[in-house]
Structure 1
Amino acid sequence: MDKAKLGKRFEGKVAIVTASTQGIGFSIAERLGLEGASVVISSRKQQNVDEAAEKLRAKGIEVLAVVCHVSNAQQRKNLIGKTIQKYGKIDVVVSNAAVNPSLDPILKIQNSILDKLWEINVKSTILLLKDVAPYLQKGSSVVLISSLVGYNPPPTMAMYGVTKTAVLGLTKALASEMAPNTRVNCVVPGLVPTHFTAFLTNNDAAREKVEGNKLIRRCGTTEDMAAAAAFLASDEASYITGENLVLAGGVSSRL
């Protein structure tokens, strides 16, 4: 990514990005930082946040790195507390954390896995925003991350897909509730090769089949997702809220 070609849409702004030490989350943090934001990154492991912060700082990005498991109430509060202590405000929140610990059909998933899926993929976003809301500035922006499978959950990712369907609805509900001072939108990625999707993208036949179904004959990149998230979070999208923006290379999800 060429820093010289990017604008400074986030100069003077503070952005929290959860699950941001690799994959889509890292690319979003990088994009916001390159455009001038002070970026607060988080992950479950100290080593991961330290390594990610080092990479971002090497690009001239102002970074605060905090260990945070989004389902841990104290760690969520610590993430917000350290952000306010250092920067005094919050302008952008990107809720990216998600898990998919099971490929089982919905009716065969263990109760503990069901709880984990809802806890991290849906509930943690609500609880994080409850804690963040008092510190959000007028004109602030929230970006949620869903998935194309939220529109039509496939058998091998059925319950994960259902939780991502919930995120689509959550975007609509929160946009109404947090208006007019805070906008809420959602990025809906199709298949993006990351560690999270390695079970699909590392299989050449499966990947070729997916790419063949796209009008743009390739999978998305983390940078594609970051560009969309940055647009929705920026003042350029100041008249957009409650929208679920699909980035899937032309794979149909809805009319």
Structure 2
Amino acid sequence: MPSSSQRFDLSGKVAIITGASKGIGEAIARGLAEHGASVVVSSRSQPAVESVAASLRAAGYEATAVACHVGDEGQLEQLVAATVAQYGGVDILINNAATNPVFGPLETMDGAVFDKVMNVNVRACFLLANRCKPLMEKRGGGSIINIASVEGIKPSPMMGVYSVSKAALIMLTQSQAREWGAAGIRSNAICPGLIQTKFSSALWQNEAILNHFVGQLPAGRMAQPEEMVGLAVYLASAASSYSTGGVFTADGGHLIAG
């Protein structure tokens, strides 16, 4: 029986991380690599992901950069093919790439905004997981981690379409867990709260909005991307072998705040 520390070891595992050129995705890629995984760092810009992969290799870790716009189904196929060509398969999938192009009331959103958000935040995760599933089965199982949001559980004003997409991603996670458990594939969702990233800059760069959010949090502050890594390593590793269909929050107490 492996020790508790050994159960977090990801040596020999191959992980794809989307949206990994910065923020939460980059932090998770680094965390998985530090625990022994070979990581495929993916985002829309090849120079951006190559920079991340190069910094990981310079630190002695195994990393490959593959550009991919997750809203393009053909590029998703190429991402998986490149991973298989480089490493022979996939064990871990981190669906982290997301978009939220507009803040505003639901009634001001049009169909184009809705379609864009759902395409990137839900459809891409669905398609990429479906392509990874048979590869995981061949390797005896795997772990899918969908980066959702507390917005998918408790919506905030002006973020309605984004909240809808993250609620759908949580249900996709639970459906994957239900249907793919027999194949040894686990699927779990991480729901971050307010994290200081470029993605959320419209919130935290506005002092009034930031003070409003932080003032209600039991933790009394927003988080850094690195604070999401512990959950990701746990869910990617054998330490979480009995965890599937879970919705794990890391929100500074947002869901219990008034």
TM over 0.5: same fold? yes
**Aligned with 2:141: secondary structure?**
strand
Structure 1 counterpart of 2:142, one-letter code: S
Structure 1 counterpart of 2:99, one-letter code: V
Kindly state the Cα deviation for residue 6 of structure 1 after the two structures are TM-superposed: 10
Kindly state the Cα deviation for residue 129 of structure 1 after the two structures are TM-superposed: 1.1
2:8–2:233 Cα contact (<8 Å) kept: no
1:105–1:159 Cα contact (<8 Å) kept: no
Q: How far apart are the structure 2 equivalents of 1:226 and 1:53?
A: 17
**Aligned with 1:20: secondary structure?**
coil
Q: How far apart are the structure 1 equivalents of 2:41 and 2:11?
A: 17
Partner of 1:193: 196
Stretch of structure 1 that moved more, 8-17 or 233-242: 8-17
Partner of 1:249: 252
Structure 1 counterpart of 2:224, one-letter code: T
1:7–1:35 Cα contact (<8 Å) kept: no
Kindly state the Cα deviation for residue 178 of structure 1 after the two structures are TM-superposed: 1.1
Matched, 1:115 2:115: yes
Partner of 1:78: 78
**Aligned with 1:218: secondary structure?**
coil
1:38–1:62 Cα contact (<8 Å) kept: yes
Kindly state the Cα deviation for residue 251 of structure 1 after the two structures are TM-superposed: 2.1
Residues 127-156 of structure 1 show CA distances to partners (whole Å, capped at 9, x for unaligned) of 111111111132310000111111122221
Instruction: Please list, as runs of the form range in 1=range in 2, the aligned pairs for 1:150-169 lying within 5 A after superposition.
Output: 150-169=152-171
Kindly state the Cα deviation for residue 212 of structure 1 after the two structures are TM-superposed: 2.3
**Aligned with 2:159: secondary structure?**
helix
Which consecutive unaligned segments of at least 5 residues does structure 1 have?
none
Kindly state the Cα deviation for residue 7 of structure 1 after the two structures are TM-superposed: 8.6
Partner of 1:206: 209
2:8–2:234 Cα contact (<8 Å) kept: no
2:193–2:249 Cα contact (<8 Å) kept: yes
- RMSD (CA atoms): 1.8
Residues 169-215 of structure 1 show CA distances to partners (whole Å, capped at 9, x for unaligned) of 11111100111310000100000010001111122332233222222
* Aligned residue pair count: 250
Q: How far apart are the structure 1 equivalents of 2:140 and 2:217?
A: 39
Per the alignment, do residues 165 and 253 of structure 1 end up closer, same or farther by CA in structure 2, a change over 3 Å counting?
Answer: farther
Kindly state the Cα deviation for residue 232 of structure 1 after the two structures are TM-superposed: 1.0
Per the alignment, do residues 7 and 173 of structure 1 end up closer, same or farther by CA in structure 2, a change over 3 Å counting?
Answer: closer
Stretch of structure 1 that moved more, 227-236 or 49-58: 49-58
Partner of 1:24: 24
Matched, 1:233 2:233: no
Give the percent of matched residue pairs that are identical in Structure 1 and Structure 2: 37
Per the alignment, do residues 109 and 6 of structure 1 end up closer, same or farther by CA in structure 2, a change over 3 Å counting?
Answer: farther
Q: How far apart are the structure 2 equivalents of 1:133 and 1:6?
A: 25
Partner of 2:51: 51
Kindly state the Cα deviation for residue 42 of structure 1 after the two structures are TM-superposed: 0.6
Partner of 1:127: 127
Q: How far apart are the structure 1 equivalents of 2:26 and 2:100?
A: 19
Q: What is the TM-score when the length of structure 2 is the normalising length?
A: 0.92
Query: After the TM superposition, which segments of 4 or more aligned residues of structure 1 sit over 4 Å from their partners?
Result: 5-8
Instruction: Please list, as runs of the form range in 1=range in 2, the aligned pairs for 1:58-77 lying within 5 A after superposition.
Output: 58-77=58-77
